[in-house]
Amino acid sequence: MREVTYEQPLNERIRTFLRLEFLFRHIDYTLGSDSAWDSRTTIANLLEALNVFARGDMKTEVIKELERLSATLSRLEKNPEVDTSKLGQILDRIDVLVDRLYVTQGQIAQETKDNEFLTSIKQRASIPGGTCDFDLPSYHYWLEKPPQERGEALRQWLAPFDNFRAAIDLILNLIRESASHSREIATAGFYQQSLDTTVPYQLIRVTLPANAPCFAEISGGKHRFTVRMMEMRAYERPSQSTQDVSFILGCCAI
């Protein structure tokens, strides 16, 4: 049976990483297409990623999280129940990524940020319909270039993100794999659980069957989290289900 998983980050760092993961996955989906419309979507998501990176010192945030995970995982090396070969591979991968990030000069993707062509698109992108042909004839001209030429340019602009993206993917994969799973019941569509503040919880995951008549709305912080099972109705705001709903809960802590 196909399932749908809903996630809720429990701190701002993981919230930012999830947003970047979403943007890069969207870029992956459209990057390989020959369509000019997909090239537009790729650039729109690239510009959003640049905006996220501009909001803080992402290099420091990513390195801090990698080093935190490395320290946590290193303590497992003497545990006889741990696959030391796999653990060693993960720790080596973390070390490689940390080294690559440390030698990165300046701000992330500075050369892409400074690209005047992308800057002209960014300046118009906040206006509804502002990137249409008559507003940006240079963009219209570029979109009419052969797909291979557009693809090469896009990959060049995305290349400076490669190490950061690899690091974020590794971080989120490790966090997701750390989940302890249990089957729970949202009584009348409501479930709440307190969290042990001495445990470094990062992410809450709620899994439902794809054909469930509701979706999970999760909110939470370091002390507790709440899950509401919401029913969607045409032309109305979603409302909390009155039924008991079974779901799989994953609390991710590493």
In the chain, the domains with their CATH numbers are 12-172 (1.10.3900.10), 179-253 (2.60.440.10)
Residues 6+ apart with CB under 8 A from 212: 4, 245
For residue 194, report the phi and psi dihedrals to the nearest 5 degrees: -85, 155
pTM, rounded to two decimals: 0.89
The encoded tokens of residue 125 equal 């992108």
Q: How far apart are CA 137 and CA 215, in angstroms?
A: 43
Where would I find the H helices in 126-219?
137-143, 147-158, 162-177
**DSSP 3-state assignment of 3?**
strand
Q: What is the pLDDT of residue 216?
A: 96
pLDDT per residue rounded down to tens, the chain (254 residues): 799 999 999 999 999 999 999 999 999 999 989 999 999 999 999 999 998 988 778 888 999 999 999 998 888 777 777 778 888 899 999 999 999 998 887 778 888 888 999 999 999 888 888 888 898 999 999 999 999 999 999 999 999 999 999 999 999 999 999 998 999 999 999 999 999 988 999 999 999 999 999 999 999 888 899 999 999 987 889 999 999 999 999 999 98
**Cross-strand pairs, 209:** 3
Question: Where do we find the tokens 């947003």?
Answer: 19
Q: Are 142 and 133 spatial neighbours (Cβ–Cβ below 8 Å)? A: no
CB proximity list for 152: less than 8 A, separation 6 or greater? none
CB 188 within 8 A of CB 242: yes
Torsion over CA of 24, 26, 29 and 34, rounded to 10 degrees? -100
pLDDT of residue 214: 94
**Closest of 207, 227, 211 to residue 219, by C-alpha:** 227
Question: What residues pair up with 117 in beta bridges, in sequence order?
Answer: none
The strands making up 245-253's β-sheet, listed across from edge to edge, are 3-9, 201-209, 245-253, 180-186
Query: What pLDDT does 55 receive?
Result: 79
Q: What pLDDT is stored for residue 126 in this prediction? A: 86
What is d(CA 139, CA 153) in angstroms, rounded to the nearest whole number?
A: 13
Q: Which two tokens stand for residue 21?
A: 């993961």
Picking from 164, 138, 139, 109, the residue whose alpha carbon sits closest to that of residue 44 is 139
Q: Round to whole Å and give the CA distance between 229 and 238.
A: 10
* DSSP tally for the chain: helices H, then strands E: 9, 8
